[in-house]
């Protein structure tokens, strides 16, 4: 080796990389040696899959799952970090949703999924972000790699490690934005799903997170979840399952706890468990304790949210549970807490972020039932009773003042406002009447709840009365007339010594409502009281007296008391002229013209032809005041009077100067115009045209009844509708039409007389639209009379009309349940029965008979002879009602009654026997024939007979009787003041499991609570009929009257009702075909069969009738057959009839 080779060799460097273990030199090594110590080879890291177990029986949340799917697709498409913040209240299922969705999509994240519980709302302290990052980094780098010590270093390393990975990260139960932000990746196609009770607004604003807000389940989703947890038991009893879901407030956590309670009691029926839990409504939080796991205990889970609130927000949370508010705004919270609006708004915002209240729209919030119960418990534990009572008092005073302010804006034409006290909370400001009405609708239930909760010792009685009056006015303008009258009665109870001004406005409010309910007779009584008050005042009240006298005149017209109407209107005109109110005076002159023309027409006084010139002059003056409809109405009255005098040429001229009805024309005038045109055509012997006009008017009236129910918008039109119907029936009888056509017109003419039930609108949007339309229509009609008409209001009326048309309400007329039965349909429904429908034409009594699909028209003679016999029979039966008559007197009266019954039988039934044979019967009486005890007539003895107000009404009742329903039970109600014999409960032994309420237990709430579970309701109670509107007929119970309309609101009225007390007899029959009292009202609300007496009955006779009736009923007989046998044993003293349709009890399963 030469020197150059040696230098090259020994100057070299020998390098050995990744050397491990001992190094041994075997021989000489030229040059330097460099060893690099090696490390063992690292194992390949596994892809993390950290999601917890998927939720069993997950149900619902379709919209939220789809929203997360869309966000995931966004992450895949853009390759950037996507953050979704799922927020919601405690127990709503945020973790369940996040974990379930993550399991569904985890396969689309090839680099794995990470999960960490941040313990934001937990029994333990929230996990610091340093701790959470450590968990995440361990999942990524393995257990042996060192992890940086500081938060910032850990965050940088975490962002570096996930930057290029396609991962799913679930950050569960976060407390705050500050806890979450260090855990977010900086780049890459990673999806981060955060759950929290906090809204995490900062995450949305600064970090671009997409919020998914989780609310309570809807009812269908809740039932689906519940059914998946309890199995077939929920499917077999769906109504009980729904009740249990609602009992659980539709909160998923509570639903799962409830399901566990149900599963722990496998031998008990679901309905029984639902009833048991419903009775423990106030103990729900105690029942929703699991005992072994505080994370599934509802109260504990709620507490983790509450303990993080500031003291101001915690106080606000407790205060909102002092009253059962539906939803509320910041002003209500300020009133409850006694703070200013700024402080209240800050507290509400904090509660919203914590999801302890939820947005309800229009700046309002609400809290679900379980959170409300939790807040109420906290309030009782934390705040003393005086503090809670003071909070309710402040809220009540605020609401009374705010309602008075709102109604003054909403009803600017109201006679007077309210004297408002100053409140600590500023009252709301309303831009217009629409915004005021919206606020009133939102707050109506809250004022009701606050009135119930406030201590009456803390507020003046006058303020309590004002609250009831405010609620009454609001209910009246919303169409809930029964509730309005109830509120007004309560207002009187609170303020018996109120000021004359308060008394006057309260009376007038009641008058408005009574007229709207079609009860002018009672309205007249209140108007007389108001007049007495006004005449006794120290200052002149000419305007008020004029207004009251005018309303009195209108009431008299509705009662066909034309003389009283004439006198009242004359006084009104004098008062209006005295103060120079020309508009009000000329409107009153139109009412006077109507009264005087009605008198002239009734008396056939042709010397009253001078009224025609008065009508022409009045029409010109009305038109000059821009009252076109009223001007036309004056001419229509003139035309009608001319027709009654036979002057068809003058009538034609009057009609020619009127215009067809507009959209804003009142229904009264529309129907009246049809009546005038029909009478005019009939006078010209154009009978087909007359019938066409009658059909048009009756169809419009029926459509209005089906849309509005019984309101002031249809009250006067009913009078004209009755005359239209009578005219049409008279025409078809006079012209010798076939029995089928006569029956068709009878049904059309009678249909509107039995539509008592207010329209039910389950869709809130439609209900609000209809309320607005009726309110605006009423206001527009009022302004047309009192002037001036606001241009904006006319535009609003058009918009409201278009809205209800678009929602479908306007096109819903007589279709479905309210449609008239055709003769063919009636024949099918009768099967082997026969129907007899009576009709009066002058003094002629006629029967239309339908039997074996054939129709017959039978003339029965003079109606006056029948009516006189009915009067004699009623007198005899009233005398026999006494159980203490001497034997000789009993014998005389009995013989008299027997002769009268035989005379009635000869007039009414014997001419029909060859046609009807031995068939069961449906009888549709007319006028005084409603007072006939049909089962007592010799030809009908022991024959099943039902009485109905019309063939269509019978058909509907018959259909309801055949509807399948779960077996119900028998309920006996015994009111106060009935004799022991009438209240004899021996009849209960015929019905297994029957329940009785008597004495102090027979309260309205107790009875209404039990009625939905019964098939047969037997009432032994005194009552009072309301002749003008049967829905307001009432039974006297232990604590308050039970009105017929209250039974109609139950949704499921009893199939059969027995009214056994003599005070409920149908002895007050009006001449307008009205079936009075509870019998007519119950048919209109869905009951199939009503058993009632048509005259007074002795207690002993009533008891024996009912014993026989219930014995037969329990043995399987139908109601009509059972009653026929029960009456046959003593027909003279047992004037009971079966009203509606025949029916059989489904069973007696009432517990």
Write the pLDDT tens digit of every residue in 677-706: 999 999 999 999 999 999 999 888 877 766
Phi, psi (rounded to 5 degrees) for 744: -60, -45
Q: Would you call 1035 helix, strand, or coil by DSSP?
A: strand
- Give the whole-angstrom CA distance, residue 541 versus residue 7: 136
CB 148 within 8 A of CB 157: yes
The structure tokens listed for 964 are 């399948």
The residue whose two tokens read 């154009």 is: 686
CB 225 within 8 A of CB 261: no
- Residue 52 CA from chain centroid, whole number: 45
Q: Which of 782, 800, 794, 770 is nearest to 708 (CA)?
A: 770
Q: What is the pLDDT of residue 1078?
A: 66
Helices 520-535 and 500-516 pack at an angle, to 10 degrees, of 160
Give the least confident one: 184-198, 730-744, 1056-1070, 1083-1097: 1056-1070
Indicate if the pLDDT at residue 1032 is higher than 70.
yes
Binned at pLDDT 50, 70 and 90, residue 981 comes out as: very low
Binned at pLDDT 50, 70 and 90, residue 848 comes out as: very high
Indicate if the pLDDT at residue 813 is higher than 50.
no
- Give the whole-angstrom CA distance, residue 477 versus residue 833: 45
Say whether 945-1140 and 518-603 share the same fold.
no
Please state the domain extents for the chain: 3-37, 62-214, 219-299, 310-426+433-494, 518-603, 760-811, 822-926, 945-1140
Indicate if the pLDDT at residue 551 is higher than 80.
yes
Q: What is the pLDDT of residue 333?
A: 94
Q: Is the dihedral of CA 783, 784, 787, 789 positive or negative?
A: positive
Q: What is the pLDDT of residue 811?
A: 40
Task: Name the DSSP class of 660.
Answer: -
Q: What is the pLDDT of residue 30?
A: 64
Q: What is the pLDDT of residue 921?
A: 94
Binned at pLDDT 50, 70 and 90, residue 818 comes out as: low
Q: What is the pLDDT of residue 913?
A: 94
Binned at pLDDT 50, 70 and 90, residue 664 comes out as: low
Q: Which of 239, 196, 251 is nearest to 369 (CA)?
A: 251
CATH of the domain spanning 62-214: 3.40.50.300
The domain over range 518-603 is classified in CATH as 1.10.132: no
- Give the whole-angstrom CA distance, residue 439 versus residue 446: 11
Q: What is the pLDDT of residue 856?
A: 93
Percentage of the chain beyond pLDDT 70 is 81
Q: How much is the average pLDDT of 304-310?
A: 83
Q: What is the pLDDT of residue 749?
A: 82
Indicate if the pLDDT at residue 230 is higher than 90.
no
More confident residue, 641 or 502: 641
Work out the number of other CB atoms within 10 angstroms of the CB of residue 515. Answer: 24
Q: For the chain, percent helix, then strand, then coil, each to nearest 5?
A: 55, 10, 30
The structure tokens listed for 575 are 């008062």
The domain over range 945-1140 is classified in CATH as 3.40.50.1460: yes
The structure tokens listed for 77 are 């498409």
Determine whether 843 is exposed, middle or buried from the number of CB atoms within 10 Å of its CB (0-12, 13-18, 19+).
exposed
Indicate if the pLDDT at residue 225 is higher than 60.
yes
- For 159-202, the pLDDT digits (tens) are 999 888 889 999 998 988 899 999 999 887 889 999 988 888 88
- Give the whole-angstrom CA distance, residue 20 versus residue 36: 9
Whether the upstream peptide bond of residue 788 has omega within 30° of 0, thus cis, is: yes
Q: Would you call 969 helix, strand, or coil by DSSP?
A: strand
Binned at pLDDT 50, 70 and 90, residue 44 comes out as: very low
């Amino acid at each position: 080796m030469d020197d150059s080779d040696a230098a090259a060799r020994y100057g070299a460097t020998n390098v050995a990389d990744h050397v491990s273990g001992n190094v041994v030199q075997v021989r000489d090594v030229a040059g330097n040696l460099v060893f690099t110590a090696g490390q063992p080879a690292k194992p390949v890291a596994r892809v993390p899959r950290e999601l917890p177990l998927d939720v069993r029986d997950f149900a619902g949340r379709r919209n939220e799952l789809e929203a997360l799917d869309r966000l995931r697709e966004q992450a895949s498409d853009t390759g950037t970090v996507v953050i979704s913040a799922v927020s919601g209240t405690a127990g709503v299922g945020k973790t369940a949703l996040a974990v379930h969705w993550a399991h569904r999509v985890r396969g689309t994240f090839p680099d794995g999924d990470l999960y960490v519980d941040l313990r934001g709302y937990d029994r333990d302290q929230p996990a610091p972000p340093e701790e959470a990052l450590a968990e995440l980094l361990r999942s990524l780098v393995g257990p042996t790699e060192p992890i940086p010590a500081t938060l910032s270093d850990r965050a940088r390393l975490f962002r570096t490690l996930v930057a290029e990975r396609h991962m799913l990260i679930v950050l569960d139960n976060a407390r705050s934005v500050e806890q979450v932000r260090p855990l977010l990746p900086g780049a890459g196609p990673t999806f981060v799903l955060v759950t929290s009770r906090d809204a995490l607004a900062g995450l949305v604003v600064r970090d671009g997170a997409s919020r998914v807000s989780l609310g309570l389940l809807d009812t269908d989703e809740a039932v689906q979840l519940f059914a998946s947890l309890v199995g077939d038991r929920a499917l077999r009893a769906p109504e009980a399952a729904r009740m249990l879901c609602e009992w659980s407030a539709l909160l998923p956590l509570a639903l799962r706890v409830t399901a566990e309670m149900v599963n722990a009691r496998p031998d008990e029926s679901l309905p029984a468990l639902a009833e048991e839990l419903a009775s423990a409504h106030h103990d729900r939080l105690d029942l929703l304790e699991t005992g072994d796991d505080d994370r599934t205990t509802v109260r504990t889970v709620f507490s983790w949210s509450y303990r993080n609130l500031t003291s101001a927000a915690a106080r606000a949370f407790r205060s909102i549970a002092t009253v059962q508010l539906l939803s509320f705004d910041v002003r209500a919270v300020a009133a409850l807490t006694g703070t200013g609006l700024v402080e209240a708004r800050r507290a509400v915002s904090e509660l919203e972020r914590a999801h302890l209240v939820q947005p309800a729209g229009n700046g309002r919030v609400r809290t679900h039932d379980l959170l409300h119960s939790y807040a109420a418990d906290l309030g009782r534990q934390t705040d003393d009773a005086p503090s809670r009572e003071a909070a309710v008092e402040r809220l009540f005073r605020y609401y009374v003042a705010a309602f008075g302010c709102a109604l003054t804006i909403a009803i600017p034409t109201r006679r007077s406002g309210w004297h408002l006290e100053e409140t600590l909370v500023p009252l709301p400001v309303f831009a217009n009447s629409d915004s005021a009405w919206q606020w009133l609708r939102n707050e109506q239930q809250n004022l009701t709840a606050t009135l119930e909760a406030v201590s009456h010792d803390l507020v003046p009685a006058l303020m309590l009365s004002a609250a009831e009056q405010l609620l009454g006015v609001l209910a009246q303008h919303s169409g809930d007339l029964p509730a309005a009258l109830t509120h007004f009665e309560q207002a009187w109870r609170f303020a018996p010594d109120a000021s004359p001004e308060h008394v006057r406005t309260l009376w007038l409010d009641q008058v408005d409502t009574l007229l709207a309910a079609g009860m002018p007779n009672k309205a007249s009584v209140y108007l007389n009281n108001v007049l007495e008050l006004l005449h006794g005042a120290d200052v002149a009240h000419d305007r008020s007296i004029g207004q009251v006298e005018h309303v009195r005149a209108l009431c008299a017209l509705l009662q066909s008391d034309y003389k009283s109407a004439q006198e009242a209107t004359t006084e009104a005109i004098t008062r209006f002229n005295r103060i120079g109110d020309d508009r009000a005076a000329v409107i009153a002159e139109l009412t006077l013209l109507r009264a005087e023309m009605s008198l002239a027409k009734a008396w056939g006084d042709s010397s009253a032809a001078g009224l025609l010139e008065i009508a022409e002059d009045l029409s010109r003056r009305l038109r000059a005041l821009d009252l076109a409809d009223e001007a036309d109405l004056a001419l229509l009255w003139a035309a009608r009077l001319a027709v009654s005098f036979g002057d068809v040429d003058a009538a034609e001229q009057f009609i020619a100067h009127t215009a067809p009805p507009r959209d804003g024309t009142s229904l009264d005038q529309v129907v009246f115009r049809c009546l005038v045109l029909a009478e005019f055509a009939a006078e010209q012997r154009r009978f087909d045209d007359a019938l066409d006009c009658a059909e048009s008017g009756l169809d419009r009236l029926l459509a209005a009844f089906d849309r509005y129910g019984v309101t002031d918008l249809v009250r006067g039109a009913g009078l004209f509708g009755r005359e239209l119907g009578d005219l049409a029936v008279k025409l078809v009888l006079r012209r010798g039409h076939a029995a089928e056509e006569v029956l068709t017109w009878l049904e059309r003419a009678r249909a509107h007389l039995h539509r008592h039930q207010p329209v039910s609108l389950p869709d809130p949007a439609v209900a609000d639209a209809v309320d607005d339309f009726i309110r605006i229509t009423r206001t527009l009609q009022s302004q047309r009379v009192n002037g001036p008409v606001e241009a904006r209001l006319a535009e609003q009326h058009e918009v409201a009309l278009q809205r209800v048309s678009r929602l479908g309400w306007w096109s819903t007329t007589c279709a479905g349940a309210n449609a008239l039965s055709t003769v063919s349909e009636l024949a099918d429904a009768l099967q082997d029965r026969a129907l007899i429908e009576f009709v009066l034409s002058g003094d002629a009594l006629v029967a239309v008979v339908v039997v074996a699909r054939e129709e017959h028209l039978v003339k029965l003679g003079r109606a006056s002879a029948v009516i006189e016999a009915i009067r004699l029979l009623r007198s005899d039966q009233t005398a026999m009602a006494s159980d203490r008559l001497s034997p000789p007197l009993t014998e005389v009266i009995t013989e008299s009654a027997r002769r009268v019954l035989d005379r009635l039988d000869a007039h009414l039934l014997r001419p029909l026997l060859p046609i009807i044979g031995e068939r069961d019967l449906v009888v549709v009486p007319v006028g005084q024939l409603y007072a006939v005890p049909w089962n007592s007539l010799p030809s009908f003895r022991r024959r099943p007979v039902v009485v109905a107000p019309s063939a269509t009404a019978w058909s509907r009742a018959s259909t309801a009787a055949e509807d399948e329903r779960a077996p119900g039970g028998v309920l006996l109600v015994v009111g106060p003041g009935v004799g022991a014999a009438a209240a004899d409960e021996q009849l209960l032994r015929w019905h297994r499991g029957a329940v009785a309420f008597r004495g102090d237990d027979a309260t309205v709430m107790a009875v209404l609570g039990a009625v939905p579970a019964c098939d047969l309701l037997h009432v032994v109670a005194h009552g009072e009929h309301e002749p003008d509107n049967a829905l307001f007929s009432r039974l006297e119970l232990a604590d308050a009257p039970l009105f017929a309309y209250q039974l109609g609101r139950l949704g499921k009225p009893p199939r059969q009702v027995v009214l056994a007390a003599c005070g409920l007899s149908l002895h007050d029959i009006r001449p307008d075909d009205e079936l009075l009292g509870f019998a007519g009202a119950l048919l209109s609300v869905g009951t199939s069969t009503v058993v009632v007496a048509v005259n007074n009955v002795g207690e002993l006779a009533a008891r024996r009738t009912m014993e026989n009736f219930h014995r037969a009923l329990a043995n399987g007989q139908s109601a009509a057959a059972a009653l026929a046998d029960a009456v046959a044993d003593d027909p003279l003293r047992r004037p009971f009839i079966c009203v509606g349709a025949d029916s059989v009890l489904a069973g007696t399963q009432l517990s």
